[in-house]
A and B are shown apart, each in its own frame.
Chain A
Amino acid sequence: MSDDVVAPVDTAAPATHEPPARDITDGGPEMVQFLDAEGNRVPVTEANSAYAEFIQDVDGEELRALYRDLVLVRRVDAEGHALQRQGELGLWPSLLGQEAAQVGAGRAMRAQDYAFPGYREHGVAWCKGVDPVNLLGMFRGVNHGGWDSNENNFHLYTIVIGNQMLHAAGYALGVQKDGLVGSGDADRDTAVMAFTGDGGTAQGDYNEALVFASVAHSPVVFFVQNNHWAISEPNEKQFVIPPYQRARGFGIPGVRVDGNDVLATLAVTRAALDRARSGQGPTLIEAFTYRMGAHTTSDDPTKYRIAAEVDIWKKKDPIDRLRKHLVAQGLADDEWLAELEAEADELALRIRTACQQMPNPPHEDMFENVYVDPHPLVERERDEFVAYQASFEED
Chain B
Amino acid sequence: MASAPQKMTIAKALNAGMRAAMEADPKVVLLGEDIGKLGGVFRITEGLQKDFGEDRVLDTPLAESGIMGTAVGLALRGYRPVVEIQFDGFVYPAFDQIISQVAKMHYRSQGHLKLPMVIRIPYGGGIGAVEHHSESNEAYFAHTAGLRVVTSSTPEDAYWMIQQAIASDDPVVFYEPKRRYHERGEVELGDSAPLALNDAVVRAEGSDLTLVTYGPMVKTALIAAQAAEAEGTSVEVVDLRSLSPLDRPTILDSVVKTGRAIVVHEAQTFLGMGAEVAALIQQEAFYHLEAPVLRVGGYNIPYPPSRHEEVFLPDIDRILDAVDRSLAY
Contacts and interface: CB of A to CB of B under 8 A. Distances in A.
Interface of A: 116, 143-145, 148-150, 155-156, 158, 160, 163, 165-175, 177-178, 204-205, 208-209, 211-212, 215, 368-373, 375-378
B107 A174 contact: no
B89 interface: no
B145 A370 contact: yes
A377 B245 contact: yes
Given A170-B72, A369-B111, A370-B145, 18 more contacts: A116-B73, A145-B109, A150-B112, A156-B113, A163-B96, A163-B100, A166-B69, A170-B75, A171-B74, A173-B70, A174-B77, A175-B77, A211-B61, A215-B61, A371-B106, A372-B169, A375-B148, A375-B245
Interface string B57-72: 0001101011011111
A165 B71 CA distance: 12
A205 B29 CA distance: 21
B70 A212 contact: yes
Contacts of A171: 73-74, 76-77
B270 to A, nearest CB: 22
Given A149-B112, A205-B97, A169 B69 contact: yes
A160 B101 CA distance: 9
A177 B109 contact: no
Interface in B238-291: 244-246, 248
Contacts of B42: none
A143 B69 CA distance: 23
A180 B220 CA distance: 52
B69 A148 contact: no
Contact of A148 (B29, B109, B148, B170): B109
A143 B110 CA distance: 8
A169 B70 contact: yes
B69 A170 contact: yes
B108 interface: yes
Contacts of A377: 244-246
A144 B244 CA distance: 24
Contacts of A371: 106, 146, 148, 170
A211 B63 contact: yes
A163 B106 CA distance: 16
Given A145-B108, A156-B108, A204-B65, A174 B74 contact: yes
B79 interface: yes
17 contacts: A144-B107, A149-B76, A158-B101, A167-B70, A169-B69, A169-B70, A170-B74, A174-B73, A174-B77, A209-B69, A212-B60, A369-B110, A372-B114, A372-B168, A376-B245, A376-B246, A377-B244
A162 to B, nearest CB: 9
B233 interface: no
Contact of A208 (B63, B77, B245): B63
A173 B93 CA distance: 21
A372 B79 contact: no
A169 B107 CA distance: 22
Interface in B68-105: 68-79, 93, 96-97, 100-101, 104
B55 interface: yes
Contacts of B306: none
A89 B282 CA distance: 44
A201 B248 CA distance: 46
A158 B96 CA distance: 13
Given A160-B101, A178-B77, A211 B106 contact: no
B59 to A, nearest CB: 10
User: Considering the complex of A and B, which 7 residue pairs feature the smallest CB-CB distances, nearest first?
Assistant: A170-B73, A166-B69, A174-B77, A170-B70, A144-B108, A208-B66, A171-B73
A166 B168 contact: no
